[in-house]
Amino acid sequence: MTGIIRNLYAQVLDLLRYFPVVVIVGARQTGKTTLAKQIAPDWRYFDLENLRDYDAFVIDPNFIFERYPDRVIIDEAQEYPELFRILRGVIDADRNKKGRYILTGSSSPSLKDHITESLAGRVAIVELGTLKANEYYGEPLSSFYNLFKDKLAKENIINGVSVFSREEMNYVWLKGGFPEPIKYDTQHYQRWMQEYFDSYINRDLAKLFPKLNKIKYSRFINMLSKLSGTILNKADLGRAIETSETTIREYLEIAQGTYIFRLLLSYQKNKTKSIVKMPKGYLRDNGLLHYLQRIDDLDSLYHDPIVGRSFEIFVIEELLKGIQAAGISNVNTYYYRTKNGAEIDLILEGYFGTLPIEIKYGSTVQRRQLITLERFVIENNLPFGMVINQSEQIEWLTPNIVQIPIGWL
């Protein structure tokens, strides 16, 4: 799948016009190297996981930068943390020159700290996730995301039929978005996922955290897959894998820092309600989630208790990838739940305003399912709320709530 043009292609090109360095970060096997080489196919390429390239930098990095002062891709930059300090001096020697280096990095919770400490003001950081549905099918980003480029308004809601069919979206929902295995048959797909997870535990984390208890951490990730989409209780997690709450907190930081897990914080701005304050969390790629839960076809998925939460995760990640691809920055994500059980799956906040979203994996919505969403819109004086499901068309379900089919995303 190396011929896929990613949504972030144009964005990275644009950033190179304004910054000396662009760093592409993300989980392993999301296509960072492929994207960098597509953007700069004739640039000098170094892979710091390659022993020869690594030794060249460690032995005499100044010589490397003297020989190649610009037009350089440095892959897996986290392998040599000192690189960022050295690069600062190289950039400052010609501070006004832009578009000199593309770096990629993965699997290192401290990577962004190294970047921001050494290269603040000199670098743009872009996170590349797994494939969005439109990337897989080779279609442009949906015009739906134009909604977030200005203040939210009912008149900016587009009309029409879904860009993708329910069957097309279900395929990506089931398989996830890792570019390499997404077209594999079931047997080879499962084998790829097994190798990916084993490599993540036994190579990446073993290198980054030599003292990490790999067996307990593996159990922890499996437990997170079962709990994906639920409110996380660190004490309960600790008891489940027989470890301390402090260790659970460390494990969560590792899972987030290696880009396989996302936390949604509780929305606590509604002062009139008794709010549940613990975060929700989920594995970010549905393919990995389904592999760990031994779900390998749509029939099994639709009959599994996790189906609703899995669809919710898929929708949230599709939304966040699309918003990022549209160049919308400074977006905060929350969920909302009161102690009486009233809940909203996702709340987006940004310069566009506040948008509460309910996510339903079915194709129809009953009016009683909209009560919390309607109240939230009215109490917070919002222009509208949104329901995303597997319906066929955009439709106003109430004067304040619009239904958006998953195929529009």
Q: Are residues 167 and 117 in the same domain?
A: no
Residue 343: the pLDDT is: 92
Please write the tens of the pLDDT for every residue from 94-139: 988 999 999 998 877 677 777 878 788 889 999 999 999 999 999 9
What per-residue confidence (pLDDT) applies to 111? 75
Two tokens, residue 23: 């760093």
Identify the CATH number of the domain in which residue 19 sits.
3.40.50.300
Do 213 and 274 form a contact (C-beta atoms < 8 A)?
no
Element (H, E) at 332: strand 332-337
Number of Cβ atoms within 10 Å of the Cβ of 203: 12
User: Residue 271 has what pLDDT?
Assistant: 65
- 159 lies in the same domain as 267: yes
Under 8 Å between Cβ of 98 and 67: no
Assess whether pLDDT exceeds 90 at residue 342.
no
Tell me how crowded residue 108 is: count the other CB atoms within 10 A of its CB. 21
> Is 285 within the bounds of a domain?
yes
Instruction: Please give the single-letter amino acid code of residue 73.
Output: I
User: Are residues 171 and 281 both part of a single domain?
Assistant: yes
What is the C-alpha separation between 357 and 344, in angstroms, rounded? 6
pLDDT at 275 exceeding the cut of 80 = yes
Q: What pLDDT, in 10s, does the model give residues 352-383? A: 999 999 999 988 888 888 999 999 999 999 99
CB 264 within 8 A of CB 335: yes
Following DSSP, what letter does each residue of 152-212 receive, concatenated? --GGG---SB-SS-HHHHHHHHHH-S-TTTTTS-HHHHHHHHHHHHHHIIIIIIHHH-TT-
Quick one: how far is CA 204 from the chain centroid? 19
Give me the residues paired with residue 261 across strands.
Answer: 283
Give the β-pairing of 101-105 and 123-127.
unpaired
- Taking residues 324-351, what's their average pLDDT? 94
Nearest to 305 by CA among 190, 226, 358, 244: 226
Residues 123 and 140 in one domain: no
Q: What is the DSSP letter of 142?
A: P
pLDDT for res 163: 83
- Whole-number Å distance between alpha carbons of 380 and 297: 41
* pLDDT over 60 at 2, yes or no: no
Phi-psi category of residue 194: left, alpha or beta, with phi > 0 → left and psi -120 to 50 → alpha: alpha
**Same domain for 379 and 264?**
yes
Whether residues 159 and 259 fall in one domain? yes
- pLDDT tens digits, residue range 225-235? 999 999 999 88
Residue 115: what pLDDT? Answer: 81
Number of domains in the chain: 2
DSSP state of 260: S
Assigned domain for 4 exists: no
pLDDT digits (tens, 9 = 90+) for 193-233: 999 999 999 888 888 888 899 999 999 999 999 999 999 99
105 Cα distance to chain centroid: 15
234 and 107 co-located in one domain:
no
Q: Mean pLDDT across the stretch 257-271?
A: 89
Burial string for 228-245 (b: 16+ CB within 10 Å, else e) reads: bbebbebeebbeebebee
What average pLDDT does this structure show over 166-180?
A: 95
25 and 159 fall within a common domain: no
Q: Which stretch of DSSP H or E encloses residue 401? A: strand 401-405
Number of Cβ within 10 Å of residue 397's Cβ equals 20
Q: Do residue 176 and residue 251 come from a single domain?
A: yes
Which amino acid appears at position 43 of this protein? W
Asked if residue 3 is part of any domain, the answer here is no
Q: What is the mean pLDDT of residues 265-289?
A: 88
Task: Band the pLDDT of 269: cuts 50, 70, 90.
Answer: confident
> Within a 10 A sphere around the Cβ of 4, how many other Cβ atoms?
18
Side chain identity, residue 69: P
Q: How far is CA 385 from CA 144, 243, 251, 361, in A?
A: 15, 41, 35, 17
Per residue in 228-263, pLDDT tens? 999 999 888 888 888 899 999 999 999 999 999 999
Last residue of a domain, one of 108, 127, 146: 127
**Same structural domain, 400 and 271:** yes
- pLDDT, residue 161, reads 64
In angstroms, rounded to a whole number, what is the distance separating the alpha carbons of residues 27 and 62? Answer: 29
41-84, pLDDT tens digit by residue? 999 999 999 999 999 999 999 899 999 999 999 999 888 888 88
Three-class secondary structure of residue 324 per DSSP = helix
How many Cβ atoms sit within 10 Å of the Cβ of residue 388?
Answer: 25
Q: What is residue 1's predicted lDDT score, i.e. its pLDDT? A: 47
Residues 102 and 229 in one domain: no
Domain containing residue 361: 133-408
Residue 2, domain member (yes or no): no
